[in-house]
Amino acid sequence: EAGVAQSPRYKIIEKRQSVAFWCNPISGHATLYWYQQILGQGPKLLIQFQNNGVVDDSQLPKDRFSAERLKGVDSTLKIQPAKLEDSAVYLCASSGQGHQPQHFGDGTRLSIL
């Protein structure tokens, strides 16, 4: 079974620029999550999709972050404009129906200069 795929693995941009991350979940997983992991902290949920609908985006900074999952499969997370405090690893995870465990990709490490 192929795992959760994320790209790019690394990204360096200057503040105020925009950036986008891509995630392809495990085949058949209806639920997709984007997490932000700041150095020295645990992952923090940004947004959760069930198929192509948003079920939780309470911690997504909507003035600069956006995410979509148009066909209920892969997803993109965008930051525009980026701030220094957005430097973090962005993790994508997916899970099957109900209370199935989440499976994580390797993440995208974002550095803001």
Partner 1 sequence: AQSVTQPDIHITVSEGASLELRCNYSYGATPYLFWYVQSPGQGLQLLLKYFSGDTLVQGIKGFEAEFKRSQSSFNLRKPSVHWSDAAEYFCAVGATSGTYKYIFGTGTRLKVLA
Q: Interface with partner 1 by CB under 8 A: which residues?
A: 4, 6, 31, 40-45, 48, 50, 55-56, 91, 93, 95, 98-99, 101-107, 109
Cβ-Cβ contacts under 8 Å for 34 (sequence gap 6 or more): 23, 45, 46, 47, 48, 67, 75, 77, 90, 91, 92
Length of the chain: 113
CB of 16 to partner 1, least distance (A): 27
CB of 111 to partner 1, least distance (A): 14
CB of 81 to partner 1, least distance (A): 27
Strand pairing of 75-79 and 65-68?
Answer: antiparallel
Q: Which of 3, 18 has the CB closer to partner 1?
A: 3
